[in-house]
Amino acid sequence: MRVDVVYALADVQDLVALELAEGATAREAVEASGIPARRGLAAADLVLGMFGRRIASGQPLRGGDRVDILRALAADPGEARRRRAVRTRRLSSRR
């Protein structure tokens, strides 16, 4: 079966297409991709996702799946929205 493994940074995306045996897990796909070794990532600490949701590393895959290696958020989304709202209010009150 064919699956993709992706690790995306702000300026570059590392995508590896793999041919794996039926029943392979997300962890096996990530290890076979070689991305953790190339990017200096600790395989034990990786958070994986598929279709915008977190998945367990033991999740069995199906042909056509795309496993995403997720990065930690730079800021809490709720806090970032609050800061933008405050900044917008300050700018509009100056007019």
How many domains does the chain contain in total? Answer: 1
CATH of the domain at 57: 3.10.20.90
The range of the structural domain enclosing residue 78 comes to: 2-93
More confident residue, 27 or 10: 27
Asked if residues 66 and 3 have their Cβ atoms less than 8 Å apart, the reply is yes
| Nearest by Cα to 46 from 64, 19, 28 | 28
How many CA atoms lie within 13 Å of 35's alpha carbon, on the beta-carbon side?
A: 23
Partners of 17 in beta bridges? 4
pTM of structure? 0.76
Whose tokens are 């915008």? That residue is: 52
Is residue 3 very low, low, confident or very high in pLDDT (cuts 50, 70, 90)? Answer: very high
